[in-house]
């Protein structure tokens, strides 16, 4: 039985993992193309730091950098480096190699994304069940209204309003940063610093989940087996939670995969608002300083994360739903 449960799953994962390098190369090619067609010239960026170079010196520097080679050769060279983990050096961070720097900033962002994702899923689930259980009551209407507004509200604005109310006014939470700057050895992050950014990040996405759960539940509640359970005299909540909810939840995981991209991208804005020392803030700093190796590195890392997240969601979905599992095995 257990063997049967995972039949075909290994093959699926293997196939998707095989595609991963292709995706990585495609992303790299696309980013490279963007930089290549843009008017950005590394020479003039370099020149800004050291004035008065002769034309001959410039040519020599270009040649030393390999900039006299055809574009496709430059691309292949760069791609080879990227695949070996060499993303170049960051001007912003004093000429250090990019990859180790990304690694150092990964943990805070991962914690923020993880917390926000958990908040989104749990909050969306609770709100969706509540809205479905009290359909058309004021609870339902309040949740739907809130959902609609929260999706339209940009996360940086929500974040600033949270800061104003809970930090400036009520003083419940610190205004920004994360505790790990001061207490390097004591755990990673002080939870008090995490609350507001995680809420701001989750607020942009939770509505999709709440409305999704609500609509799925209301749809499933019409099925024969649910009607039969109700006819048996089983109480309202057991029917809702034990009979209807599991079936309503199946595509939830895929939705989580889809919205992971939004949450990862959302860190750019939220980390900037809350001075959260993660990759999102670093991306903005790199963008303001036109530090391309760093910015490209973060973009690549972000899109690979999203691809992996989607893969993970797919795998979980297949484990959870036997019908899908059999149709693709």
Member of 99, 163, 239, 315 binding another protein (CB under 8 A): 163
Cα separation, 328 vs 7, whole angstroms: 10
Stretches 75-83, 121-129, 194-202, 263-271: which one binds another protein (CB under 8 A)? Answer: 263-271
Residue with the two structure tokens 């008017």? 39
Stretch that binds another protein, among 109-117, 120-128, 194-202, 215-223 (CB under 8 A): 215-223
If one asks whether residue 27 binds another protein (CB under 8 A), the answer comes out as: yes
303 binds another protein per the rule CB under 8 A: yes
Q: Which of residues 49-78 bind another protein (CB under 8 A)?
A: none
323 near another protein, judged by CB under 8 A: yes
**DSSP string of 156-221?**
HHHHHHHIIIIIIIS--S-SSS-GGGT-SSS-S--HHHHHHHHHHHHHTTHHHHHHHHHHHHHHHT
Residues in the chain: 329
Q: How far is the CB of 272 from another protein (least distance, A)?
A: 6
Site string (221-250) toward another protein, x via CB under 8 A: -xxx-------------------------x
Stretch that binds another protein, among 64-72, 99-107, 118-126, 305-313 (CB under 8 A): 305-313
Shortest separation between residue 112's beta carbon and another protein, angstroms = 15
Phi and psi, residue 251, nearest 5°: -75, 0
When the beta carbons of 156 and 188 are compared against another protein, the nearer one is 156
Please report whether residue 207 would count as binding another protein according to CB under 8 A: yes
Task: Give the x-and-dash track for 267-286 against another protein (CB under 8 A).
Answer: -xx--xx---------xx--
CB of 70 to another protein, least distance (A): 21
Radius of gyration over every alpha carbon of the chain, rounded to an integer in angstroms: 25
3-state SS record for 31-78: HHHHHHHCCCCHHHHHHCCCCCCCHHHHHHHHHHHCCCCCHHHHHHHH
Spell out the residues 6+ positions from residue 102 whose beta carbon is closer than 8 angstroms to its own.
Answer: 87, 279, 282, 297, 298, 301
Both tokens assigned to 240? 């809702």
251 near another protein (CB under 8 A): yes
218 binding another protein? (CB under 8 A)? yes
Residue with smaller CB distance to another protein, 62 or 144: 144
Interface residue with another protein, options 254, 308, 312, 319 (CB under 8 A): 254
> Up-side HSE of residue 271: CA atoms within 13 Å toward CB?
24
């Amino acid at each position: 039985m257990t063997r049967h449960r995972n039949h075909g799953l290994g093959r699926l994962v293997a196939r998707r993992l095989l595609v991963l390098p292709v995706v990585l190369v495609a992303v790299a090619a696309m980013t490279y193309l963007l930089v290549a067609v843009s008017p950005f010239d590394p020479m003039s960026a370099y020149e800004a730091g050291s004035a008065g170079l002769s034309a001959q010196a410039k040519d020599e520097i270009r040649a030393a950098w390999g900039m006299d080679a055809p574009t496709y050769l430059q691309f292949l060279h760069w791609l080879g480096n990227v695949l070996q983990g060499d993303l170049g050096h960051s001007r912003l961070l004093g000429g250090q190699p990019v990859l180790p720097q990304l690694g150092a900033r990964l943990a805070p962002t991962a914690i923020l994304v993880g917390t926000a994702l958990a908040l989104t899923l749990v909050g969306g689930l609770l709100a969706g069940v509540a809205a479905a259980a009290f359909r058309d009551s004021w609870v339902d209407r309040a949740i739907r209204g809130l959902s609609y507004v929260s999706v339209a509200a940009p996360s940086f604005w929500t974040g600033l309003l949270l800061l104003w109310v809970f930090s400036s006014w009520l003083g419940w939470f610190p205004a920004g940063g994360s505790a790990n700057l001061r207490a390097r050895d004591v755990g990673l992050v002080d939870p008090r610093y995490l609350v507001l950014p995680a809420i701001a990040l989750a607020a942009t996405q939770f509505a999709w989940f709440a409305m999704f759960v609500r609509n799925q539940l209301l749809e499933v509640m019409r099925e024969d087996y649910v009607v039969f359970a109700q006819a048996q005299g089983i109480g309202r909540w057991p029917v809702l939670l034990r009979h209807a909810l599991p079936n309503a939840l199946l595509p939830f995981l895929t939705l989580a995969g889809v919205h992971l991209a939004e949450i990862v991208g959302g860190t750019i804005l939220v980390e900037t608002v809350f001075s959260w020392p993660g990759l999102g803030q670093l991306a903005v700093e790199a963008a303001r300083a036109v530090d391309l190796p760093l910015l490209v590195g973060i973009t690549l890392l972000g899109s690979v994360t999203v691809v992996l997240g989607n893969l993970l969601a797919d795998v979980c979905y297949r484990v959870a739903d036997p019908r899908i599992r059999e149709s693709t095995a």
